[in-house]
Chains A and B, each alone.
Chain A
Amino acid sequence: MENVQELALDILIAACETDEVGEDLDLDLFEAGLMDSLASVSVLLELEERTGVRLQPTDVDKDDIRTVNKFAEFLKEKIG
């Protein structure tokens, strides 16, 4: 799925509520202070809204949403 990367980016931009997420796809979002535990719940909400796929908080590790690229990989595996 080609647009998984884009989907990952869109979801993380929406969850972190900032476009800055897109500036560096390997940026550690937790370290950059853009992502926290509440935002990680938003990731699941955004995913469900956009794709209809409902994942559980237990399905996602912190590392899966640490960077845009890692999240894209994760999505490929889960829904790709």
Chain B
Amino acid sequence: MWILDELKKRSVSDETALIHREETITFRQLWEKSDAVAAVISSRCKSKNPVVIYGNKDIEITIVMLAALKTGRAYVPLDITFPPSRVETIMQDVENELIFNFSGEEVILPSGCTEIKKADFSSVLAKEGCGSGDGAGLCTGSRSEAPESEYVKAEDNCYILFTSGSTGKPKGVQITRKNIENFTSWFASSCELSEGKQVVLNQVSYSFDVSVIPLYIYLPMGKTLFSIDKEMLDNTRLLFDYLENSRIAAWVSTPAFLEICSFADQFQEEMLPELETIILAGEVLTKKLVSTLHNKFKRAKVINGYGPTEGTVLLSACEITDEMIRNEKSLPIGRILDDGEYQIQDEKGSAVEAGGTGELVVVSDSISKGYFKNPEQTEKVFFQTESGKMGYRTGDLVFEQDGLLYYVARKDTQVKLNGFRIELNDISSNLNRLDMVNNSVVLPVYKEGRVSYLTAFVVLNDRPDLSDLKIGIELKKGLKEMVPSYMVPRKIIILDQFPMNINGKIDRKKLAEEYL
């Protein structure tokens, strides 16, 4: 199943492909408009460098994504939680010639890059969308169709997702058509809906790859994606007003979002009577949440998925049964995907004994070719087998029992906070860039086995005449201009100096014991 093949078959369908608030788009419009945008991209970009998209859940974003694929280019989706400065850093890496900026934020364009804003989107399509090339007059009559020979090929990148990097600079994970097809061919069967069920939740931010499930599996199946934007997430009443009439049959999100919804009594079967499949991924799934869901939605099955961005959305998954909830172990993350070969390794890289805990290492066609323009980081975690398949050391510690994998912990300082993947050193590196800061350490605070929030410990250069609270607020403001908002620690503790361990390094354990 490949998105462009399937959507082409539906290119004369007047069924609804996407809904966002009061806006809708049909499969026919999606196909035709993405052809027009493809013409714009082809005429504005000389290189095959990726196209950057900065926005939230606007329908136009999906048009642009398809258009990029039609021109043989990858797209780089950057959510509005990214501050402009981080977008600018990424653009310098990507060397894009075009950015679709639907964010409402001002970004400084690198030389040779043009920008299309949301307000100008339609007029640009009208002017440049017929591929006449001169951009002089409005397109009339015949519309341009992107030639299939230009479409992305198996080894071409389709998207590059920039994820938190420990040096303070985001890492771009390159995902090819082959990677995506390998994922969808395995996972599509878990996504099947009953006859007549049509609507799928499209809530996950596009810069997070769980959003690939609606886009690359459900949309090609001819389902309607029901988009939820950031403002709706901040306003439960507004969110529920939309959900109530959504007729959603498949729910795809992080556990954190579903948990917030589930806190409301009205969020149950009567509100979403058609719901039959709930797919959760991105962070640890708790038994408490699944039990709540089983009570609220008696007919819905819950699927738990696991996978790093480097392995294209999911590397393992399984349906959560009542028996698993009754079991004393935590919930499993499932079985490895169809073509996946895996090993659980100890620190020396040898397989652990049966049932032992170690790092999950996976070889599969779903594994990315590596980080964008970053051979150093790529070499650390990716490898190639003799047969040429890519492998990835996930950094996730797991064990296996009765054919199912169980997640235990990370082996490094990466954490998941509300489903967002964060390198703690990414935050401290950026904090250290602030003038006021001499050095910093960021630690997660756990509650009920999960990261509840982050705390930063900061030693200042010069202490301004302000309370710790006010200094903390200033630091958060400065940090927010450099990293996504979800990476800003809730608590900032100002210290005169860090406790040191016998190796002369900052004693994180002592910090945690003393303050957290």
Q: Please list the residues of chain A having a beta carbon within 8 angstroms of any beta carbon in chain B.
A: 16-18, 20, 23-24, 27, 31-34, 36-39, 41, 44-45, 56-58, 60-62
Check if A17 sits within 8 Å of B265, measured CB to CB: no
Measured CA separation A60–B468 after assembly (Å): 30
Chain A nearest CB, measured from B468 CB (Å): 8
Q: Is the CB of B490 within 8 A of A34?
A: yes
A57 to B257, CA, bound (A): 13
Smallest CB separation, A43 vs chain B (Å): 11
Range, interface on chain B: 20 to 34
- The docked-state distance in angstroms from the alpha carbon of A45 to that of B448 is 15
Contacts of A57 on B, CB cut-off 8 Å?
Answer: 236, 260, 263-264
Q: Are B476 and A33 in contact (CB under 8 A)?
A: yes
B488 at the interface (CB under 8 A from A): yes
| Complex-state Cα separation, A36 to B491, whole angstroms | 12
Interchain residue pairs with CB less than 8 A apart (15)? A16-B490, A17-B490, A18-B490, A23-B467, A27-B469, A31-B473, A32-B472, A32-B476, A33-B489, A33-B490, A58-B264, A58-B266, A61-B235, A61-B237, A62-B234
Min CB distance A52 to B, Å, is 15
Residues of A within 8 A of B490 (CB): 16-18, 33-34, 36, 39
By a CB distance below 8 angstroms, the chain B residues around A62 are: 234-235
Partner of A58 from the list B233, B240, B453, B488 (CB cut-off 8 Å) is: B240
**Are A38 and B263 in contact (CB-based, < 8 A)?**
no
Task: Give Cα A34–Cα B469 distance, bound, in whole angstroms.
Answer: 10
Return chain A residues, CB-CB under 8 Å to B237. 58, 61
Given A44-B263, A58-B236, A60-B236, 6 new contacts (CB under 8 A): A17-B445, A17-B491, A33-B489, A37-B234, A37-B260, A57-B264
Distance (Å) between the CB of B8 and the closest chain A CB? 39
Q: How many A-B contacts are there with CB distance less than 8 Å?
A: 59
Q: Tell whether B132 is near chain A: CB-to-CB under 8 Å.
A: no
Q: Which residues B194-241 have CB closer than 8 A to chain A?
A: 233-237, 240
Please state if A32 and B263 are interface contacts (CB–CB under 8 Å): no
> Which residue of B236, B418, B445, B476 has the most chain A CB atoms within 10 A of its CB atom?
B236
Known: A17-B490, A18-B491, A38-B418. A56 touches B266 (CB 8 A): yes
Query: For residue B479, which residue of chain A has the nearest CB?
Result: A33
Interface string of B234-260 (1 = CB under 8 A from A): 111100100000000000000010011
Which 8 pairs across A and B sit closest by C-beta, in order of nearness?
Answer: A57-B236, A33-B476, A58-B237, A20-B469, A57-B264, A23-B469, A32-B473, A41-B263
Q: Are B488 and A33 in contact (CB under 8 A)?
A: yes
Chain A residues with CB under 8 A of B266: 56, 58
> Looking at the complex, which one of B233, B469, B476 makes contact with A24 (CB distance below 8 Å)?
B469
CB contacts (< 8 Å) of B263 on chain A: these are 41, 44-45, 57
A38: B residues at CB distance < 8 A = 256, 260, 418
Distance (whole angstroms) from the CB of A50 to the closest CB of chain B: 17
Chain A residues near B452 (CB-CB < 8 A): 17
Give the docked Cα–Cα distance between A38 and B491 (Å): 15
Question: With a CB–CB cut-off of 8 A, which chain A residues contact B240?
Answer: 58
Residues of A with C-beta under 8 A to B468: 20
Chain B residue contacts of A56, Cβ below 8 A? 264-266
Residue among B233, B265, B467, B473 with the highest chain A CB neighbour number at 10 A = B473
Per-residue 0/1 for B483-494: is the Cβ within 8 Å of any A Cβ (1 yes, 0 no)? Answer: 000001111000
Measured CA separation A46–B445 after assembly (Å): 19
B193 to chain A, nearest CB (A): 28
Determine the chain B residues whose CB is within 8 A of the CB of A60 once the complex forms.
236
Q: Closest CB of chain A to B262's CB: distance in Å? A: 10
Please determine whether B233 and A37 come into contact, CB atoms closer than 8 angstroms.
Answer: yes
User: Hey, which chain B residues are within 8 Å of A17, CB to CB?
Assistant: 445, 452-453, 490-491
Minimum Cβ distance to chain B for residue A49 (Å): 14
